[in-house]
């Protein structure tokens, strides 16, 4: 589909239902769909791409799949309406499932990636007359299940390791700056092993990896990639988990711990799945003797910074014959025990999963399901807010895939998916980004610390959102039950404060046991008085479109001499996104 802003219409061409492909053209005016009677039209197809060229008021179609992969270019003029085949001197190779959009800065339609039928990562520009290839040709080798996270030191996304579908393991490191890949050349590298996962320790600015396997030989080594020195180092803690691979790792930012769960190991030549929980504090590993635990599995937990919980959904188990099968189940870990969350949830799968702190949601995209050695990829998108799973509407999205590196980019406020595998087509080299709808949101972020009346809570009043032209009403509760004051700081950075990574231990500022989760700007810090345990505040938001998309973080420091630290307590932080 493509939107024509000049005419206020969304148009749709072709597609398929099971094995039937279509060549019809439809338009939607916001109320109803109507088929457009056109004489000339592109051949029936599916998995093609459309983009509106706003400079020329036309919709451009390229490629797709019919009996074979297509490489033709067409234009649709909805004001006539008619389709017109074009004959550019240069065209991209025939492809399907590619991405296409109009860049108003360049005045060009951009096509990226797709299947030819192998995966591609090339970029092409179309000016209305001809196609031209552009962009960097330097990209990482195709892979899946590597480490992918935001690096606060460089301000870029960092990719480490991973392996191919046939088991070839990588030890390389790459940076992604928007859409440009740059390889890092560390002086040292760990041995190439498969099944090694990594967790990003934001306090120490390093990736932590454990174990993995080389053939049937399981490993129990701990390696760290230091984002400051851009180098690998092996560390030798006094204790370590038993050898394993394909486990999951998540960094608990409030407790400064890497949490490792489960994975797979080889015993007497047979793969077995595990269900133990380990924590790493940067010095040593410790087995956590939980009373409850998820079933043995290989999985990918993530940390929910808004609620201080490690969340695990789905994964892969092994049956008695050694065949893998997809598992379901939503579990949460609070640093002491696991709890099964009994709610309706997505179908069983090993998902692509990450956490979006701006909206306070765990996000799941696709993954794979199946058993007995027969697996299928998925392309559905889900959110989990700690209470319920919600499936998001189908729309423009990557092809069904699994094993993708999936992470939140706080600089660009987007979720990025790179690489992974497409069902039956091998590795996928495309880079996709997920941007949330332009709606105002308010999400709790980070944890507070206890005062004389419990942990202060900072939240939006019921029904209040940061909408342009409206008022954001805040509700601060669990304050000391007497007259007092608190400092309410506002800022924009969630990564670092005064050159130090967030969250920041406030013990150095005389408030031990409490963390600062945001980077407050001094001009935006308010001193607020309160008469009792609750204080309500209202902030008018100008109806200025330049504020749309502004992300504002906030947190309160409450002066409280009766707090356990005899000084102050701190509320949770929160993130407001204005629209």
Residue 427's pLDDT band, with cuts at 50, 70 and 90, is low
CA distance 444 to 427: 37
- Stronger pLDDT, 507 or 414, i.e. the higher one: 507
Could you state, in order of their start, the residue ranges of all structural domains in the chain? 2-134, 147-434, 441-577
Measured over the CA atoms of residue 450, residue 451, residue 454 and residue 458, the dihedral's sign is negative
What percentage of residues in the chain have a pLDDT greater than 70? 95
CA angle at 522 for the pair 516 and 528, rounded to the nearest 5°: 80
In CATH, 147-434 is 2.60.40.420: no
> What's the pLDDT score for residue 543?
95
Cβ atoms < 10 Å from Cβ of 521: 14
Residue 117's pLDDT band, with cuts at 50, 70 and 90, is low
Region 485-499: what's the mean pLDDT?
93
Fold classified for 2-134? Neuraminidase (2.120.10)
Counting Cα atoms < 13 Å in the Cβ hemisphere of 314 gives 25
Please state whether the peptide bond connecting residue 503 to the residue before it is cis, i.e. omega within 30 degrees of 0: yes
Residue 522, SS3?
Answer: helix
- The answer on pLDDT for 426 being more than 70 is no
Cβ atoms < 10 Å from Cβ of 240: 18
> What's the pLDDT score for residue 184?
93
Q: Is 263 left (phi over 0), alpha (psi -120 to 50) or beta?
A: left
Q: Do domains 2-134 and 441-577 have the same CATH topology?
A: no
Residue 354's pLDDT band, with cuts at 50, 70 and 90, is very high
- The answer on pLDDT for 374 being more than 80 is no
Question: Which one, of 304, 186, 284, 205, lies nearest residue 240 by Cα?
Answer: 284
Region 102-112: what's the mean pLDDT?
79
Question: Which one, of 155, 156, 195, 152, lies nearest residue 174 by Cα?
Answer: 156
> What's the pLDDT score for residue 7?
79
**Which residue is associated with the tokens 């070839």?**
168
Q: Render pLDDT for 248-261 as a digit per residue (tens, 0 to 9).
A: 999 999 999 999 99
What percentage of residues in the chain have a pLDDT greater than 90? 60
- The answer on pLDDT for 391 being more than 80 is yes
Region 275-301: what's the mean pLDDT?
96
> What's the pLDDT score for residue 105?
64
Per DSSP, helices labelled H in 362-500 are none
Mean pLDDT of the chain: 90
Residue 166's pLDDT band, with cuts at 50, 70 and 90, is low
Residue 420's pLDDT band, with cuts at 50, 70 and 90, is confident
Region 353-363: what's the mean pLDDT?
95
> What's the pLDDT score for residue 428?
67
- Stronger pLDDT, 45 or 111, i.e. the higher one: 45
Region 114-139: what's the mean pLDDT?
77
- The answer on pLDDT for 104 being more than 80 is no
Strand partners, 486: 528, 558
Instruction: Judge contact between 379 and 391, C-beta under 8 A.
Output: no
> What's the pLDDT score for residue 520?
96
> What's the pLDDT score for residue 207?
93
> What's the pLDDT score for residue 165?
62
Question: 150 is written with which tokens?
Answer: 């935001």
Region 160-176: what's the mean pLDDT?
80
DSSP output for 28-89: E-SS-EEE---SS-PPPBBS-EEEEETTTTEEEEEEEESSSEEEEEEEEETTTTEEEEE--S
CA distance 229 to 224: 11
Q: Render pLDDT for 58-101 as a digit per residue (tens, 0 to 9).
A: 999 999 999 889 999 999 998 888 999 999 988 999 999 888 88
> What's the pLDDT score for residue 376?
87
Region 540-544: what's the mean pLDDT?
95
Fold classified for 441-577? Immunoglobulin-like (2.60.40)
Instruction: Judge contact between 455 and 449, C-beta under 8 A.
Output: yes
Residue 553's pLDDT band, with cuts at 50, 70 and 90, is very high
> What's the pLDDT score for residue 140?
80
- The answer on pLDDT for 203 being more than 80 is yes
Instruction: Judge contact between 139 and 396, C-beta under 8 A.
Output: no
Residue 153's pLDDT band, with cuts at 50, 70 and 90, is confident
DSSP output for 305-363: TTTTEEEEEEEEEE-TTS-EEEEEEEEEE-SS-EEEE-S--PPS-EEEEEEETTTTEEE
Residue 137's pLDDT band, with cuts at 50, 70 and 90, is low
CA distance 477 to 453: 9
> What's the pLDDT score for residue 434?
85
């Amino acid at each position: 589909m493509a939107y024509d802003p000049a005419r206020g219409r969304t148009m749709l061409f072709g597609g398929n239902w099971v094995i039937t492909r279509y060549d019809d053209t439809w338009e939607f005016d916001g109320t109803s769909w109507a088929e457009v009677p056109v004489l000339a039209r592109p051949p029936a197809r599916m998995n093609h791409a459309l983009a509106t060229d706003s400079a020329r008021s036309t919709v451009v179609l390229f490629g797709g799949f019919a009996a074979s992969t297509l490489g033709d270019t067409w234009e649709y003029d909805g004001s006539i309406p008619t389709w017109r085949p074009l004959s550019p001197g240069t065209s991209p190779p025939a492809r399907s499932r590619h991405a296409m959009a109009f860049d108003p800065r360049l005045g060009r339609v951009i096509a990226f990636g797709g299947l030819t039928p192998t995966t591609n990562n090339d970029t092409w520009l179309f000016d209305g007359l001809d196609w031209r290839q552009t962009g960097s040709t330097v990209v990482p080798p195709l892979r899946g299940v590597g480490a992918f996270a935001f690096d606060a030191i460089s301000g870029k996304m960092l990719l480490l390791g991973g392996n191919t579908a046939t088991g070839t393991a990588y030890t390389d490191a790459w940076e992604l700056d928007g859409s440009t890949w740059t390889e890092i050349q560390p002086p040292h590298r760990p041995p190439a092993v498969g099944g090694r996962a990594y967790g990003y320790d934001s306090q120490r600015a390093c990736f932590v990896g454990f174990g993995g396997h080389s053939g049937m030989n399981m490993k129990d080594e701990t390696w760290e990639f230091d984002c400051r020195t851009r180098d690998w180092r092996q560390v030798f803690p006094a204790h370590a988990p038993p050898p394993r691979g394909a486990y999951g790792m998540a960094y608990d930012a409030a407790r400064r711990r890497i949490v490792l769960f489960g994975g797979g190991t080889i015993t007497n030549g047979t793969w077995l799945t595990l269900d133990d929980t380990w924590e790493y504090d940067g010095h040593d590993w410790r087995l956590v003797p939980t009373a409850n635990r998820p079933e043995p599995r290989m999985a990918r937990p993530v940390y929910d910074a808004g609620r201080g919980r490690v969340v695990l959904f789905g994964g892969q188990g092994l049956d008695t014959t050694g065949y893998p099968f997809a598992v379901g189940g939503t579990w949460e870990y609070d640093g002491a025990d696991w709890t099964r969350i009994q709610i309706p949830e997505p179908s069983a799968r090993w998902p692509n999963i990450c956490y979006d702190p701006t909206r306070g949601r765990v996000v799941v995209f696709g993954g794979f399901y199946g058993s007995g050695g027969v697996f299928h990829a998925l392309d559905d998108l889900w959110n989990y807010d700690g209470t319920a799973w919600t499936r998001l509407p189908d729309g423009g999205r990557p092809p069904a895939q699994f094993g993708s590196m999936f992470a939140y980019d706080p600089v660009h406020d987007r979720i990025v998916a790179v690489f992974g595998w497409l069902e039956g087509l091998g590795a996928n080299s495309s880079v996709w980004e997920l941007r949330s709808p332009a709606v105002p949101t308010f999400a709790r972020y980070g944890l507070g610390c206890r005062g004389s009346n419990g942990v202060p809570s900072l939240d939006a009043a019921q029904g209040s959102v940061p909408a342009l032209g409206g008022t954001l009403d805040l509700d601060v509760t669990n304050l000391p039950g007497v007259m007092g004051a608190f400092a309410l700081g506002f800022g924009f950075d969630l990564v670092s404060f005064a050159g130090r990574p967030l969250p920041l231990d406030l013990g150095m500022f005389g408030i031990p046991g409490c963390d600062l989760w945001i980077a407050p700007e001094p001009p935006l810090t308010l001193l607020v008085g309160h008469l009792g345990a609750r204080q309500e505040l209202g902030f008018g938001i100008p109806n200025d479109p330049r504020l749309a998309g502004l992300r504002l973080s906030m947190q309160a420091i409450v002066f409280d001499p009766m707090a356990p630290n005899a000084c102050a307590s701190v509320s949770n932080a929160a993130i407001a996104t204005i629209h």
